[in-house]
Amino acid sequence: MDYKKHIASKLKVEGFTAEEIESFIALPPNSDLGDYALPCFRFAKTMRKSPVAIAEELKASFPVDEYIEDVNVAAGYLNFRVNRKGFVAGVLREVAEKREKYGASSEGEGKTVCIDYSSINIAKPFHIGHLSTTVLGAALYRLYNFLGYKAVGINHLGDYGTQFGKLIVAYRAWGDRAAVEAGGVRELMRLYVKYHDEAELHPEMDDEARAQFKKIEEGDGEATELFNFFKEITMKDVGRIYDKLNVTFDSYAGESFYNDKMDPIVNELREKGLLTTSEGAEIVDLSDYDMPPCIILRSDGASLYATRDLAAATYRKNTYNFHKNLYVVAYQQNLHFRQIFKVLELMGKDWAKDCVHVAYGMVSMEDGAMSTRKGKVVFLEDVITRCVEKSLEIITEKNPDLPDKEKIAEQVGTGAVIFGALSSNKIKDMVFSYDKVLNFDGETGPYVQYTCARCKSVLNKGGDIGEYAVPELSQQEYDLVAHIGKFPELLSSALEKLEPSFVTRYAVDLAQLYNKFYFDCKILGEEDNVKNFRLALTDATLVTLSNSLALLGISVPERM
């Protein structure tokens, strides 16, 4: 039952369509007021009455029916209370029918969304700082697909720049193929750090590094072979981490992919009179927009991030004809993307407005920041491994005879990392704490997973769910179903705000409501009608929590 649509269809307000009225209807902050609320302030200007008077007038003209059993006025709001038994029956029926598709929709049908996330650097460590972009982008990717869009996940690899010349110099001086194959990115990082230590004593090494990178650009056989070797080693290492985090991509087109696609962009900027020369560099002057210039070509003719991002955005529009083009990149790049989007707009690209920077805060460990050059870096794989190990310790202590403890610890530890990274508003900085994300009694991934395991245990003991009629409802039962019923709308809101943290907050709230119900309401041992109803309620909770976790990339253990 679409209650908003039903309510709106029965209200007549001069100057407003039923669709507009429906869009105004919201969920009240306090369920004691009602289940839906219509703010009447929007109508005051056209109806020339106070919001309270309008609410009273609309109340008088609204007949209660089998779906809406009460209408009341509170401070300019018209509040509606649904027929609780009918509502509960409808929600449980919908969840039972849709199962893993509960909450899905077709709102994005026919629309493609490009999502640029993770964007790891070749030959550099996949560290804790990459956690947010990776899991945030992947969650948005799943959300878009779940709501009917065609999402295109893009890993814009950092595979271009002088650092690869530095690595070639270091590899030839101190490297060994077998050592790199065995040590992976960690060995490449060791060489990279050693290069910077040596280059401080021998600055002429940087000239050789630039020469080696130029050879890569020109397609030199040996330099290109080494570059591809570094790339292969990196992708093998990061692929293992992506598998752990349940992260996938549709494209790995990185910076080097756009090497032959930048000249047309530069030529177009020149033809449209947007390029000017400043200290030998070619720039787009953005002073009229309170921004520093966007540098397109350096004085030596080399391209920059901006050049490649302009080429990438144009390529994505031409290739995917996107509805939205998202960049999941830390807030330090706010200015960069404002410049890129403004340049695209000045070029006459009407789709520039569809490019969105999804900014997020930084992640650090409790002991401070990191530097790749100095080798002070926290590998993301090490963080996941430690969470899995600590999960195994906790599980062994709480339930020593649990079968498949190692597999469950893997699910719990990895889930804790993902859930922890997505628990707060994305723009907030995060200090990663093992104790906090692994708290089985806190607002965490393990707590939600444990609630799922509890639901599975109840359902296994309860057997098949027989037929039932909705009994007289306790407040715990109604609050639980009401929250389950909010799930589809919650997902739309999460996508509208590009905030997967809405889903983590929702899942914690639902888990808490179920656990309150579990402790306050007997399930097994009740007479059949009540038992079957409460088993159905448990099943609906499990389905909704499982769907929430799946959208975040988190698995549900069979038991804990």
Q: Domain residues of the chain, as ranges?
A: 3-82, 112-260+304-365
The per-residue pLDDT for 129 is 87
DSSP string, 426-454: TTS-EEE-HHHHT-TTSSSHHHHHHHHHH
State the pLDDT at residue 370.
54
Write the pLDDT tens digit of every residue in 499-529: 999 999 999 999 999 999 999 999 998 999 9
For the domain bounded by 3-82, which CATH number is listed? 3.30.1360.70
Q: Can you tell me the mean pLDDT for 365-373? A: 59
In tens, the pLDDT along 382-437 reads 999 999 999 999 999 988 999 999 999 999 999 999 999 999 999 988 888 888 88
CB–CB of 155/118 below 8 Å?
Answer: yes
Q: Is the pLDDT of residue 369 over 80?
A: no
Report the percent of the chain where pLDDT is more than 70. Answer: 98
Q: What are the tens digits of pLDDT across the range 440-496?
A: 888 999 999 999 999 999 999 999 999 999 999 999 999 999 999 999 999 999 999
Among 206, 368, 217, smallest CA distance to 302 is for 217
In this prediction, residue 235 has a pLDDT band, given cuts at 50, 70 and 90, of very high
Q: Enter the tokens of residue 351.
A: 């789709």
Mean pLDDT of the chain: 93
In this prediction, residue 123 carries a pLDDT of: 86
Rounded Cα–Cα distance for residues 123 and 216 (Å)? 15
**pLDDT given for residue 241 in this prediction:** 94
- What's the pLDDT score for residue 213? 87
Mean pLDDT computed over 186-190? 91
171: CB partners within 8 A, 6+ apart: 180, 191, 226
Query: For residue 336, what are its two tokens?
Result: 């960069």
pLDDT average, residue stretch 356-382: 75
Q: What is the DSSP letter of 49?
A: S
Q: Domain 112-260+304-365 maps to which CATH number in 3.40.50.620, 1.10.730.10, 2.40.33.10, 3.40.190.10? A: 3.40.50.620
Report the 10 Å Cβ neighbour count for 114: 26
pLDDT score, position 368? 61
Confidence band for 560, pLDDT divided at 50, 70 and 90: confident
Residues sharing a CB contact under 8 Å with residue 385, sequence separation 6 or more, in sequence order = none
Amino acid identity at 345: E
What is the rounded average pLDDT of the residues 343-350? 98
Q: What is the pLDDT of residues 135-158, one digit of tens each?
A: 999 999 999 999 999 999 999 999
| Confidence check: pLDDT of 124 > 90 | no
Residue 290's pLDDT is: 96
Which stretches of 321-429 are DSSP H helices?
Answer: 334-346, 380-398, 405-421
State the sign of the Cα–Cα–Cα–Cα dihedral 166, 313, 278, 285.
negative
| Average pLDDT estimate for 28-49 | 88
pLDDT tens for each residue of 242-293: 999 999 999 999 998 998 899 999 999 999 999 999 999 999 999 999 999 9
Q: Is the pLDDT score of 559 beyond 80?
A: yes
**Which amino acid is present at 385?**
T
Strand positions, DSSP E, 19-92: 36-39, 68-74, 77-82
Q: Which of 473, 482, 457 is nearest to 533 (CA)?
A: 473
Alpha carbon 119 to its chain's center: 15
At 278-288, the pLDDT tens digits run 999 999 999 99
Decide if pLDDT at 88 tops 90: yes
pLDDT of residue 27: 84
- Give the pLDDT confidence score for residue 374 in this predicted structure: 54
Extended strands (E) in 100-211: 112-116, 150-154
Q: Which of 555, 533, 537 is nearest to 546 (CA)?
A: 555
Could you tell me which residues come within 8 angstroms of residue 341 by beta carbon, excluding any fewer than 6 positions away? 352, 355, 357
Tokens of 37: 């609320």
Mean pLDDT calculated for residue range 82-92: 93
Report whether pLDDT(547) > 90. yes
| HSE-up of residue 471 (Cα within 13 Å, Cβ side) | 18
d(CA 452, CA 464): 18
- For the entire predicted model, the pTM comes to 0.89
